[in-house]
């Protein structure tokens, strides 16, 4: 280190010194890093248990230096429920993509939220099935081209994209629901605060905490990493607005599902 300088940012010690398999610029990596930064700062490495999904982030357990389990496709919320009920004093999270959480695992997701299971969802909404080659997801935008919607998503045939953060915010069991993005340095900093807040609410036993991340898949979207972050801002954010939909600690309760759909 250079003399006269102080360290202000480095890789968290809780992120294992391995090369993550994600594509360059994939925000899965950023979210892994961020969760581990919070775990390091709160000093809860020995008290945290995560559940990884099926999808690109299936190997999350290889990178995060906390106890982890890997769930069958879509079942992360059921597994996290069991873990949290067995270990109520631990910080438990599920980490899931949109194919996992909002397609094959919709039932597990909704019912865990409705029961108010006291764990945190980290929901990576990149509008596509990344791992399997870019198929349409429940969150694919209207008109968005994917390998299974080559002419663009047609809502008349497959419905409108699901707004999970808004939907779960309407369930009584949910204590905190927010949509964030990690697409700019400022938003990454905000994301970190939200992760910490969710863990603290979990400690207080307030109910389900649900953080959705408007994310990217440069490989599936067939664009550069920098372009993909701009795409989140310009194309995704109008339909998937960032913000808090529910927070029982501040009394916020708002949902924009209805107004968008009504137009």
Partner 1 sequence: MAAKGFVEISVEGCKGCGLCVHYCPVKCLDLNMADTNSYGLHYAFLKEPDKCIGCANCGVICPDAAITVYRKKN
Ligand X SMILES: Cc1ncc(C[n+]2csc(CCOP(=O)(O)OP(=O)(O)O)c2C)c(N)n1
Provide the binding-site residues for ligand SF4, judged by CB under 6 A: 22-23, 26, 28, 56, 126, 130-131, 217-220
**Beta pairing, strands 67-70 & 48-52:** parallel
Which has the closest alpha carbon to 73: 91, 54, 93? Answer: 54
User: From the CB of 226, what's the least distance to ligand SF4, in Å?
Assistant: 10
Helix (H, G, I), strand (E, B) or coil at 50: strand
One of 87, 172, 226, 254 touching partner 1 (CB under 8 A): 226
User: From the CB of 173, what's the least distance to partner 1, in Å?
Assistant: 32
Rounded to the nearest 5 degrees, what angle is found at the Cα of 53, between the Cα atoms of 51 and 50?
15
12 touches partner 1 (CB under 8 A): yes
258 touches partner 1 (CB under 8 A): no
User: From the CB of 56, what's the least distance to ligand SF4, in Å?
Assistant: 3
Helices (H), 25-179: 27-42, 76-86, 98-99, 106-115, 155-158, 164-169
Q: Write the interaction track for ligand X spanning residues 59-88; mark x where CB under 6 A is met and - where it is not.
A: --------------x---------------
| Residue 12 and residue 36 in contact, taking contact as beta carbons nearer than 8 Å | yes
One of 29, 57, 120, 208 touching ligand X (CB under 6 A): 57
Residue length of the chain: 263
Number of residues that bind partner 1 (CB under 8 A): 33
Q: Which does 219 bind (CB under 5 to 8 A by kind): ligand X, ligand SF4, partner 1, none?
A: ligand SF4
Distance of CA 125 to the CA centre of its chain: 6
Which has the closest alpha carbon to 160: 263, 54, 55? Answer: 263
151 touches partner 1 (CB under 8 A): no
Footprint of ligand X on this chain (CB under 6 A)? 54-57, 73, 97-100, 124, 126, 128-132, 137, 217
């Amino acid at each position: 280190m250079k003399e006269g300088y102080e360290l202000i940012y480095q890789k968290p010690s809780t992120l294992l010194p391995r090369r993550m398999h994600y594509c360059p610029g994939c925000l899965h990596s950023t979210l892994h890093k961020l969760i581990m930064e919070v775990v390091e700062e709160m000093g809860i490495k020995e008290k945290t248990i995560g559940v990884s999904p099926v999808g690109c982030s299936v190997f999350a357990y290889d990178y995060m230096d906390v106890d982890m389990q890997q769930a069958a496709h879509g079942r992360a919320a059921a597994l996290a429920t069991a873990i949290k009920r067995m270990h109520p004093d631990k910080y438990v999270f599920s980490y899931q993509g949109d194919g996992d959480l909002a397609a094959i695992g919709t039932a597990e997701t909704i019912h865990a939220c409705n029961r108010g299971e006291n764990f945190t969802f980290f929901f990576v909404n990149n509008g596509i099935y990344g791992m399997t080659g870019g198929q349409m997801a429940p969150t694919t935008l209207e008109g968005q081209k994917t390998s299974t919607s080559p002419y663009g998503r047609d809502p008349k045939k497959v419905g409108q994209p699901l707004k999970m953060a808004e939907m779960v915010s309407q369930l009584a069991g949910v204590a905190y629901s927010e949509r964030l993005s990690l697409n700019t340095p400022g938003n990454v900093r905000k994301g970190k605060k939200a992760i910490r807040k969710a863990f603290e609410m979990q400690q207080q036993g307030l109910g389900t905490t649900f953080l959705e991340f408007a994310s990217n898949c440069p490989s599936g979207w067939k664009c550069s990493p920098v372009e993909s972050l701009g795409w989140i801002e310009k194309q995704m954010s109008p339909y998937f607005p960032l913000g808090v939909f529910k927070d029982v600690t501040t009394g916020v309760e708002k949902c924009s599902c209805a107004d968008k759909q009504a137009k």
